[in-house]
Amino acid sequence: MLSKNKNLIFIFVILALILGGLSSSNTASDPWYLSLNKSELNPPGYVFGIVWPILYILMAISAYITYQKVYQLFYSQLLFNTAWSWIFFYFHQPIIALVDIYVLIIINIYILFKMFNISNLAGYLYIPYIVWLCFASYLNIFIVLFN
């Protein structure tokens, strides 16, 4: 299944990592973010640097497996994912970012169902991303409520 085109999967992974890098360019070292009250469950900054590349690789593999069926949805969720970082960290708008992440979760749950219809492997590889989005929405809610 993954042997369709090894060059294409490499391109998917590299593009996902580049997009991930772009969306994380305004993050945890921002003085505004550092001044916020955060949940006790908020992981240290280095955890995000470990988790996000892994999630982007899993997303890229899932997208590669199901490319012909979900690529438009996949690109739209990448847009919302990247937008969240800019809305939250650059524009300092956690309420709007929360709306963005809710839309992101809804789109990704729909993508997950479509992926499972195509490939169980793609669906299972995509689940950690949705779980992390739900956790990120909790962190976002905490910041909205306590700041």
CA distance 107 to 119: 18
Q: Are 123 and 25 in contact (CB under 8 A)?
A: no
Selection from 63, 74, 54, 75 nearest residue 4 by Cα: 63
CATH class of 6-146: mainly alpha
Question: Domain coordinates of the chain in residue numbers?
Answer: 6-146
- pLDDT tens series, the chain, 147 aa: 445 566 777 777 777 777 766 666 556 678 899 899 999 999 998 888 788 888 888 888 888 888 778 878 888 898 999 899 999 999 999 999 999 999 999 999 999 999 999 999 999 999 999 999 999 999 999 999 999
Six-digit token string for 80: 């919302």
Q: Are 112 and 85 in contact (CB under 8 A)?
A: no
Cα–chain center distance at 129: 6
